[in-house]
A and B are shown apart, each in its own frame.
Chain A
Amino acid sequence: MPAAEPPGSDSGGARHPERKRTWTSPRPWRALLPAAGVAYALVAATTSAFTGSADLVTALPIVTLAVLVIARWPWRAFPRPPRTDPRVAHPHPWRAWVVLFVAIVAWEVADYAARASRADHPTLSSMLDAVDRHYGFKALVFFLWLCLGAAIVRRGARPQHRAPSGQGPGPS
């Protein structure tokens, strides 16, 4: 008889194929999403900031994400991943990311607050503005933004506490 699973674990998919199929099997239309995202980013890159068309092509994904978040995310947050999850077994798996995030924000604020010109103190926005002047780069940045939005919706909808291949908990 299998041991009871810790709350939040997703190992049930291995024991119950039908559940895994329900949760993770790709639907046919999902294969078209990347292509649709690329096409949308290519169109969006043709617009210029501070125009109605730019507002429209940017607002559409924002509204879509808001609708998806309301529709797909649970109202209650998920329980913490179990300590046995190999991805979070280390006591401080987030520390390095937090330190890096704080450093980036600190430097962004320092550059933003500096009294010299923006050319001397570039912020992330000003550097991306320079990148966005090139159509291809702007399309790429827009596509990456769409990808991040899709990942946010997916990750928040169902946590996947699956073990990496070969590192999963063995039978008990």
Chain B
Amino acid sequence: MSSALSYAVWAVLGLATLGLWVRSHASGSSPARPAVVLERLATVPFLRVALVLTWMWAGWHLFAR
């Protein structure tokens, strides 16, 4: 299998993210806005710890090691 399929799936997921982002800002939409999702993650026990650790790991993985 070539890489085309893998990149195509990533593209679809990226477009889905953008679409969900736009839809969440439409009036009367059901999905929560990204800021609300982040606030929810940052205020729920355990999830907020996981959120911070994920952010730390992502930075270390992407830029340091």
CB 8 Å contact bits of B29-64 with A (1 = contact, 0 = none): 011110111111011110010011001101111111
- The contact size tier of chain B is 35 or more
Q: A58-B60, A96-B20 are in contact. List 18 more A-B contacts (CB 8 A).
A: A47-B63, A78-B43, A87-B36, A90-B32, A93-B32, A93-B36, A94-B40, A96-B31, A120-B3, A122-B6, A127-B10, A128-B62, A145-B59, A149-B55, A151-B35, A151-B38, A152-B51, A155-B39
The answer on a CB contact under 8 Å between B35 and A54 is no
Q: Mark A124-147, 1 if CB is under 8 A from B, else 0.
A: 010110001000001001100100
Residues of chain A touching chain B, judged by Cβ–Cβ distance below 8 Å, are 44, 47, 49-50, 54-55, 57-59, 61-62, 65-66, 69, 73, 77-78, 81, 87-88, 90, 92-97, 100, 103-104, 107, 111, 116, 119-122, 125, 127-128, 132, 138, 141-142, 145, 148-149, 151-152, 155-156, 159-160
- Given A77-B45, A111-B6, A145–B37 Cβ distance below 8 Å? no
Contact B61–A125 (Cβ < 8 Å): yes
- In the assembled complex, the Cα of A97 lies from the Cα of B52 at a distance in Å of 18
- Contact residue among B30, B38, B44, B65 (Cβ-Cβ distance under 8 Å from A152): B38
Report the bound CA distance from A152 to B41 in whole Å: 9
Q: Which of B14-29 touch A at CB < 8 Å?
A: 16-17, 20
